[in-house]
C-alpha cells in the first residue's frame, strides 16, 4: 500500500523568506504525487503534480517540488513566502495505475508572519 508522511504539522516563516514543506512517500511502484493547498473554509486547490516526467515540478504561485527517488521525498518549496500563502498543504499519492482513490498526508499548516 502507498502512503505519504508530512514531517511537520506546523511551519512558520516570515514574509519574504523561503518555504520548505516536507513530504516522504512510501510506494511499491512508481507513484504519482501531488501537492494541494486548502485555504480556510475552502476546498482543495491543486498546486502541482509529479507523474514521472521531469523530477523538478513547477506549480502555481511560485511553488515547486522535487521528486527524489533515492530519498523517497517530494518536498514543496517556494523562494519567498507571501502572506497569502498561509494555508494548509497536503501531500497526496495516487494508487497504482492512477485512479482517484487518493491517499492524503496529515497536512502542514503554514503560517506566514510579517
**Does 36 interact with another protein (rule: CB under 8 A)?**
yes
Judge whether 15 and 114 are in contact, CB under 8 Å: yes
**Does 58 interact with another protein (rule: CB under 8 A)?**
no
Residues 102, 105, 109, 112, CA torsion sign: negative
Q: How far is the CB of 44 from another protein (least distance, A)?
A: 4
User: Which region among 15-23, 29-37, 62-70, 79-87 touches another protein (by CB under 8 A)?
Assistant: 29-37
**Does 97 interact with another protein (rule: CB under 8 A)?**
yes
**Does 44 interact with another protein (rule: CB under 8 A)?**
yes
CB-nearer residue toward another protein: 84 or 106: 106
All cell numbers assigned to 103: 491517499
CB-nearer residue toward another protein: 11 or 34: 34
Judge whether 37 and 91 are in contact, CB under 8 Å: no
Neighbours of 53 (CB within 10 A): 8
| Rounded-to-integer distance, Cα 39 and Cα 6, Å | 18
Dihedral angle of Cα 107, 24, 57, 99, to the nearest 10 degrees:
-80
**Does 21 interact with another protein (rule: CB under 8 A)?**
no
Q: How far is the CB of 78 from another protein (least distance, A)?
A: 21
**Does 25 interact with another protein (rule: CB under 8 A)?**
no
Amino acid at each position: 500500500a502507498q502512503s505519504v508522511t508530512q514531517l511537520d504539522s506546523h511551519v512558520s516563516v516570515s514574509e519574504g523568506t523561503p518555504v520548505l514543506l516536507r513530504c516522504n512517500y512510501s510506494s511499491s511502484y512508481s507513484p504519482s504525487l501531488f501537492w494541494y493547498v486548502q485555504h480556510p473554509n475552502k476546498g482543495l486547490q491543486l498546486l502541482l503534480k509529479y507523474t514521472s516526467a521531469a523530477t523538478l515540478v513547477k506549480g502555481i504561485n511560485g511553488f515547486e517540488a522535487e521528486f527524489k527517488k533515492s530519498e523517497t521525498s517530494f518536498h514543496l518549496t517556494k523562494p519567498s513566502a507571501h502572506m497569502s500563502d498561509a494555508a494548509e498543504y497536503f501531500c497526496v499519492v495516487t494508487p497504482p495505475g492512477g485512479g482517484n482513490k487518493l491517499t492524503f498526508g496529515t497536512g502542514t499548516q503554514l503560517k506566514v508572519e510579517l
